[in-house]
Amino acid sequence: MAHLTSSIKPWVPLFCAVLTGCCPGISWAADAPSAGLPELNWPTIQWPAAARRFSIAHTLSVQGVPMQLHGFTSTLPPHELIAHLQKNYGDQLIKTQQTTDTVLLGKQEGNGYFLNFRIKPAANLSGSQGEVSVAPLAPVPAYAQQFVRDQRWWNQHLPYGYRLLQHQVSVDLKQQALYLVIHAHASVADMRRVLTQALTHQGLQPDAGGQDSKRASVPIYFNPSNSLPPSYRSLDGHALNGAVTIHPHRQGSHSAIVNIVYTRSLYP
């Protein structure tokens, strides 16, 4: 039995890159419990005929900001692909040179959304590749509330000195996954102990293997607990499985990657 499903996607560096220049200055806060993450009415992307596209995230929430994320490749070089996109959007895309070889094209689209293309040369330099993000311009209460509620719980269950750096929720048609990055000046053993206890509250129990290993690279896998019902769930639904991986940093500090997959049975 696989411990983790394909719902877990460690796309954090890519997401952060796409967010840069996408929705600057948005600060969303909320304080009520979430009743679930609703489907959003995402606008249709006007792809040029030369683009081959694929979905990266059906719905993604980064720090409470929901978005859709698509990837694409094209045989056209970036300047030609940009010309095709500008034509499709009536020359309304605002162009920003993000780096020497990377261009952002963005505009408000649909009923209150922001569309952002990130385009760069393909790895073989014979075409283009990139990502497209779509995000609402205004806060979506359910997503903001879920993030604040969950952030508070994790901060309450992490010892002093532990910092929750990244909170990400990925939702597809059948499942949803929580992805956390947690940093602390603590030993591998201490971080495993603290995070195992936190996942126990989520209704999971650790497998025997990996828990006592002194190597940071050895992950701990989790499965549903039959004896300990959850006292809290980060997401609606039931926890299916999870994993914790510790990565060393300078001066004795470590970061932990926490993945938990939940059912989506309570969602439309």
pLDDT (mean) for 112-133: 93
In this predicted structure, the answer to whether residue 73 has a pLDDT above a threshold of 80 is yes
Q: Tell me, what's the pLDDT at 38?
A: 77
In this predicted structure, the answer to whether residue 166 has a pLDDT above a threshold of 70 is yes
- Distance from chain centroid for Cα 141: 18
Secondary structure element (H or E) that encloses residue 130, with its range: strand 128-136
pLDDT digits (tens, 9 = 90+) for 228-237: 889 999 988 8
Of the chain, the end-to-end C-alpha distance in Å amounts to 27
- What 8-state DSSP symbol labels residue 250? G
Please provide residue 19's backbone torsions phi and psi, each rounded to the nearest 5 degrees. -65, -30
pLDDT above 90 coverage of the chain, percent: 62
Fold of 12-23+48-60+67-136: TATA-Binding Protein (3.30.310)
What is the token pair recorded at 12? Answer: 């954090």
What is the token pair recorded at 234? Answer: 């980060």
Cα–Cα distance between 82 and 95 in angstroms, integer? 9
Q: What band does 13 get if pLDDT is binned at 50, 70 and 90?
A: very low
Whole-structure pTM value: 0.76
Q: Tell me, what's the pLDDT at 115?
A: 96
Q: Which residues, in sequence order, are bridge partners of residue 260?
A: 178, 242
pLDDT digits (tens, 9 = 90+) for 190-212: 999 999 999 999 999 998 765 56
pLDDT (mean) for 204-230: 79
What is the token pair recorded at 169? Answer: 């929720």
Domain limits, the chain: 12-23+48-60+67-136, 141-263
Nearest-5° angle of CA 57, CA 165, CA 158? Answer: 120
- Distance from chain centroid for Cα 237: 18
